[in-house]
Chain A
Amino acid sequence: MSTVDATAPRTPTSTGRLANVDWFRWIVLAMSLGILLVFIVYPLGSVLALSLAERGTPFSWSAVTFENFRQLWTSRLFRGAILNSLTLTAWVVVISTTIGVTYAYFLTRVRLPLNHTLMMTLGTIPLLMPPFVGAYSWVLLFGRSGSITQIVNELFGVSLPTIYGMTGMVVAISATMWPFVFLLAYGALALSDPSLEESAEVMGASPLRRLFTITVPLVTPAVLTGSLVVFMRAIGEFGTPAILGGNQYVIPTLIYFRISGYGDFNMASAMALVSVGLSVLCLLFLALYLRRRDYMTVTSRVQASKRSASRVLGIVGAVVCILIVFVSLLPHMTVVLGAFSERWRGTLLPTEYGFSNFIRVFDRDQTAIRNSILLTLVATVVATVVGTLLAYISAKRKSRAGIIIDITVMLPFILPGIVVGVAMAAAFSAGPLVMTGTGLILVVAYFVRRMPYNFRAGTSSLQALDKSMEEASSVCGATWGQTSSRVTLPLIMPGVIAGAVLTFISLIGELSATIILFSGRWKTISVSIYEYLISHQTGPAFALGTLLIFLVFAAVFLVNRFLGVAITTLFRGR
């Protein structure tokens, strides 16, 4: 019997030359180029143009001046801010890396008398709140009349150093950022080929020698990647220095005060450019360093690494880990506690509890709450759809189109939020596209800031996808559209949604771009919190902070519930 019936009309459909042209590729390439030009190149160009114009004037070719840069060069305030930014970032990177690696080491290599999953989760939670929300907690705890300051003073007669300034900023930012290093280091430390360390042991290497010749070199790339993430976030952090900086400015706060205090977009633009240049320089330096050390292990036999069963090490590890988690979550606890307190002055715990803070913010900040949720949702959906689509195209086409998309998408990584804010304001307050004062400009800024992350989420899901899944579908007779919708999309969906949730989490409390772009009509929760905090109204600020924490936890709970994505895997590689 033959299955091929000779009479059956099985003629190949001949496709004409025109039908073979891949229109879709060109459309998406054009779209990607459009996004690059309109939302990144044009805004950055506008920043450059404004920086070359005299204060208070728009750019014109006849009046190009380097006056702004000359002033920056001679300004002691600005040079101080650069120095502060670098000092702050350096300290935060060093401390976050130390804490992150320590925490990861104890969790992976020592048998701790603690619940592993719980410690993993607790080690991720600091990431779930924007740093500036918790920043004020440090004032409440360690400020001049802070609870802990008073207690320490009464008990030991010692007065603690002031929390305002460099110390406070370093502590507050490090406490929220070390999990980035932890999660990456954890991945490298937990999964490695034990025979590498065992072979060194057989060859006679001492434990310490093994640690420094085998283990450390192998996890270094992952740790440095984590440090890089911390670096980029710390150098762009606006909220914490604005609240805890006191009279110490860093670049983002200086840019902000230049705009809010003087309305001087020209000088702010010049500062933004110098700031971007500085980040790019540091990034290149780190990337070069990373590249030289980026090697892969020549084995696929990856498995869980062995853990030390030493009791002493276990107890020391448990104490250190609990201490780390406790200190990092202090701001979160303070925020929630403060939100529900009616009276809290100089005591360890509030003396009176109630809901008046919440009642107040639900009454006064209704629009802000609504705006935040609406803007974040819209930006998340747009960033996810576009990011995934671009990831799909760039994964399919390893061509010049792919490179253009990669550059488009990676560029915002090096732009601090405040610079994105300045660029949007510079580009869209005049000229062909006026968006200032609308919610749209916030959506665009959010999109530019976060789409790269959705792109990466899509890319890594696609890379993990077995190519033959799509090929099998195609051989089965499915068209490109059928394969995409029935096979590819459902298979990458969990990764894409996890990316979307992460975007939602990081945008719901976005402050550094928002602070430049918000308007009376389009205020957000983060702006409200910021305004409450600088006027020392902690109650309502903490109530809104608690609301943020709640929204973030709800999002994490939903993905965990419906996709089985653990909170710890959500942030890996970010």
Chain B
Amino acid sequence: MAIGLEARSLTKRFGQGPEGVTAVNDVSFEIEEGELFSLLGESGCGKTTILRMIAGLEKVTSGTILFSGQDYTHVPPNRRELGMVFQSYALYPHMSVFENVAYGLRIRGTNKTDVTEKVRRALDIVDLPPDTFSQRRPSELSGGQQQRIALARALVYDPRLLLFDEPLSNLDAKLRVYMREEIRKVQQRAGITAIYVTHDQEEALAISDRVAVMFEGVIEQIGTPVEVYDRPASAIVADFIGKANLFSATLTSKTGTGAVARTAAGDVVHGFVNEEAPPSGDDVTVMIRPERLTLRLRDDDAATAANGSTNSLDATIRSLSYLGSRTRYGVETAGGTSLTVDSVRYLERATPGAAVRLSFPAQDTLFLRRQELQP
């Protein structure tokens, strides 16, 4: 596939001198045509600034933005041929739904019959029957419907790229899940390249082809949803996306990508080194997802010993919270490492103080570069 958008060493500084803030620091990525690419991170990480630089709404401090190989870094927003859905939707209260959607076409001087035709098609794509909605005012519509109009307005003139700036943050939780699936459907139906900014990791995983995880103005990792969840490039990514057990250990042996590590207290774990972001020395951070740990009471255990493919650790339950679909245990290993275990099964006798055995596959255990996280 051809490259739809390329960002090279994008940097944005706000303010000057020592008081200035670097919002985006030397960020590069490529987006293929037809791809839905998410920028994911906490508020203030620079994701919206990147989107606004791509839109041309924010001046680029340094770096290059290319659309289909052509330099657009300094082209004003109105000549970039983009569509954008704003967080506030930015629908025009003084225009009907029809006129809102038709806006971009009118600007382009599209002839009347084409305008009607295209607006109807755009409203159809976002599942708003044109006959019912065309003449209403945006203020008469619900949040979800306004969202659809904003999407139709951005799509109607076949932009080269669709930009989403946290489009779902004003909707309630249930509608948010529904609308994100709708957005994904529309994007695929239109076959349009899209960049999607969000702080909601579940949302990003659910709809993206690829996700860029951002932290303090830098992209920590770019990958498919499976990659960023299962093979996080750093402890920061592992910690931000989903829940992760992270603890320090030292590598004792290494064969290919497989390795064995030992914690300071003596727990030994088998796992893998992430090849794309290998640890620099023997000091590593071990990452294991809570739902990949299996917890059994030690007295009815059939004594599975640790071997190359499965880890096994003795531990004691310290706390538990019953969450319905799963039970979350806080456990402490014999070596003193605190871990979180998510278990689908609720065990009657697994109460605080109970002795348990944890087992978890080595293939789900990842050794990352040692990184201290802020709590």
Chain A residues with CB under 8 Å of chain B are 1-4, 6, 10-13, 15, 466, 468-469, 471-479, 482, 486-487, 490-491
Chain B residues with CB under 8 Å of chain A are 2, 4, 33-34, 55-57, 67-68, 70-72, 74-84, 86-88, 90, 92-94, 103-104, 107-108, 153-154, 157-160, 163, 190-193
Which residues of A have CB within 8 Å of B79? Answer: 12-13, 477
Q: With contacts A468-B87, A475-B82, A478-B107 known, what are 17 further pairs, Cβ within 8 A?
A: A2-B2, A2-B34, A3-B191, A3-B192, A3-B193, A4-B33, A4-B193, A10-B68, A12-B67, A466-B88, A468-B86, A472-B90, A474-B76, A475-B83, A475-B163, A476-B103, A477-B79
Which residues of A have CB within 8 Å of B78? Answer: 474-479
Q: Is the CB of B92 within 8 A of A487?
A: yes
Q: Is the CB of B70 within 8 A of A11?
A: yes
Closest to B156 in A: A476
Q: Is the CB of A3 within 8 A of B90?
A: no
Specify the main secondary structure of chain B where it touches its partner: loop
Complexed CA–CA distance, A474 and B93 (Å): 17
Closest to B161 in A: A4
Specify the main secondary structure of chain A where it touches its partner: loop
A2-B34, A4-B160, A468-B90 known; A475 vs B193 contact (CB < 8 Å) = no
A13-B75, A478-B107 known; A471 vs B90 contact (CB < 8 Å) = yes
Which residues of B have CB within 8 Å of A4? Answer: 4, 33, 68, 160, 193
Q: Is the CB of B160 within 8 A of A10?
A: yes
Q: Is the CB of A477 within 8 A of B104?
A: yes
Which residues of A have CB within 8 Å of B82? Answer: 475
Which residues of B have CB within 8 Å of A472? Answer: 84, 86, 90, 153
Q: Is the CB of B160 within 8 A of A12?
A: no
A1-B191, A471-B86, A475-B83 known; A6 vs B68 contact (CB < 8 Å) = yes
Q: Is the CB of B57 within 8 A of A475?
A: yes
Q: Is the CB of B160 within 8 A of A3?
A: yes
Task: Give the number of A-B contacts (CB < 8 Å).
Answer: 100
Closest to B190 in A: A3
Closest to A472 in B: B90
Which residues of B have CB within 8 Å of A491? Answer: 92-94
Q: Is the CB of A477 within 8 A of B86?
A: no
Query: What 7 A-B pairs are tightest by C-beta distance, nearest first?
Result: A1-B191, A476-B104, A472-B90, A468-B90, A468-B86, A12-B75, A475-B84
Q: Is the CB of A2 within 8 A of B191?
A: yes
CB distance from A484 to the nearest CB of B (A): 12
Closest to A490 in B: B94
Closest to A20 in B: B74
Which residues of A have CB within 8 Å of B94? Answer: 490-491
Which residues of B have CB within 8 Å of A474? Answer: 56-57, 76-78
Which residues of B have CB within 8 Å of A478? Answer: 78, 103, 107
Complexed CA–CA distance, A475 and B150 (Å): 13
Complexed CA–CA distance, A12 and B154 (Å): 20
Which residues of A have CB within 8 Å of B92? Answer: 469, 487, 491
Which residues of A have CB within 8 Å of B70? Answer: 10-12
Complexed CA–CA distance, A479 and B107 (Å): 9
Q: Is the CB of A476 within 8 A of B107?
A: yes
A468-B88, A475-B82 known; A3 vs B75 contact (CB < 8 Å) = no
Complexed CA–CA distance, A473 and B160 (Å): 16
Which residues of B have CB within 8 Å of A468? Answer: 86-88, 90
Which residues of B have CB within 8 Å of A15? Answer: 74-76
CB distance from A32 to the nearest CB of B (A): 25
Complexed CA–CA distance, A474 and B163 (Å): 13
Name, among A469, A490, A491, the residue most crowded by chain B CB atoms within 10 Å (CB to CB). A469
Q: Is the CB of B75 within 8 A of A471?
A: no
**Chain A to chain B contacts (Cβ below 8 Å), 28 pairs:** A1-B191, A2-B33, A3-B158, A4-B4, A4-B68, A4-B160, A6-B68, A10-B70, A12-B71, A15-B74, A468-B88, A471-B57, A471-B90, A472-B86, A473-B103, A474-B57, A475-B56, A475-B80, A475-B83, A476-B83, A476-B104, A476-B107, A476-B154, A477-B79, A478-B103, A479-B78, A482-B107, A491-B93
Q: Is the CB of B71 within 8 A of A6?
A: no
A476-B103, A479-B78, A491-B94 known; A3 vs B159 contact (CB < 8 Å) = yes
Which residues of A have CB within 8 Å of B56? Answer: 474-475
Which residues of B have CB within 8 Å of A471? Answer: 55, 57, 77, 84, 86, 90
Complexed CA–CA distance, A15 and B154 (Å): 25
Which residues of A have CB within 8 Å of B191? Answer: 1-3
CB distance from A24 to the nearest CB of B (A): 14
CB distance from A350 to the nearest CB of B (A): 50
A1-B191, A3-B191 known; A475 vs B74 contact (CB < 8 Å) = no
Q: Is the CB of B93 within 8 A of A475?
A: no
CB distance from B101 to the nearest CB of A (A): 10
Q: Is the CB of B107 within 8 A of A6?
A: no
Closest to B77 in A: A474
Closest to B71 in A: A12
Q: Is the CB of A477 within 8 A of B108?
A: yes
A3-B160, A472-B86 known; A477 vs B57 contact (CB < 8 Å) = no
Which residues of A have CB within 8 Å of B84? Answer: 471-472, 475
Which residues of B have CB within 8 Å of A479? Answer: 78
Complexed CA–CA distance, A479 and B83 (Å): 15
Which residues of B have CB within 8 Å of A476? Answer: 78, 83, 103-104, 107, 153-154, 157
CB distance from B16 to the nearest CB of A (A): 14
Q: Is the CB of A477 within 8 A of B157?
A: yes
Complexed CA–CA distance, A476 and B2 (Å): 24
Complexed CA–CA distance, A476 and B108 (Å): 9
CB distance from B135 to the nearest CB of A (A): 18
CB distance from A501 to the nearest CB of B (A): 20
Which residues of A have CB within 8 Å of B163? Answer: 475
Name, among A466, A471, A472, A491, the residue most crowded by chain B CB atoms within 10 Å (CB to CB). A472
Complexed CA–CA distance, A8 and B79 (Å): 14
CB distance from A77 to the nearest CB of B (A): 56
Complexed CA–CA distance, A558 and B93 (Å): 22
Name, among A4, A475, A490, the residue most crowded by chain B CB atoms within 10 Å (CB to CB). A475
Closest to B32 in A: A2
Which residues of A have CB within 8 Å of B153? Answer: 472, 476
Q: Is the CB of B33 within 8 A of A475?
A: no
CB distance from A120 to the nearest CB of B (A): 25
Complexed CA–CA distance, A486 and B104 (Å): 12
CB distance from A482 to the nearest CB of B (A): 6
Closest to B70 in A: A12
CB distance from B162 to the nearest CB of A (A): 9
Which residues of B have CB within 8 Å of A486? Answer: 103
Complexed CA–CA distance, A477 and B92 (Å): 15
Complexed CA–CA distance, A473 and B78 (Å): 8
Which residues of B have CB within 8 Å of A466? Answer: 88, 90
Complexed CA–CA distance, A471 and B53 (Å): 12
Q: Is the CB of B57 within 8 A of A6?
A: no
Complexed CA–CA distance, A279 and B192 (Å): 63
Closest to A474 in B: B77
CB distance from B77 to the nearest CB of A (A): 4
Complexed CA–CA distance, A445 and B87 (Å): 46
Complexed CA–CA distance, A491 and B95 (Å): 10
Complexed CA–CA distance, A204 and B33 (Å): 65
Complexed CA–CA distance, A533 and B242 (Å): 82
Closest to A471 in B: B57
CB distance from A14 to the nearest CB of B (A): 8
CB distance from B68 to the nearest CB of A (A): 6
Complexed CA–CA distance, A10 and B92 (Å): 28
Complexed CA–CA distance, A486 and B157 (Å): 18
CB distance from B3 to the nearest CB of A (A): 11
Which residues of B have CB within 8 Å of A475? Answer: 55-57, 77-78, 80, 82-84, 154, 163
CB distance from B161 to the nearest CB of A (A): 8
CB distance from B59 to the nearest CB of A (A): 11
Q: Is the CB of B81 within 8 A of A10?
A: yes
Complexed CA–CA distance, A237 and B99 (Å): 50
Q: Is the CB of B104 within 8 A of A6?
A: no
Complexed CA–CA distance, A466 and B90 (Å): 7
Q: Is the CB of B34 within 8 A of A469?
A: no
Which residues of A have CB within 8 Å of B67? Answer: 10, 12
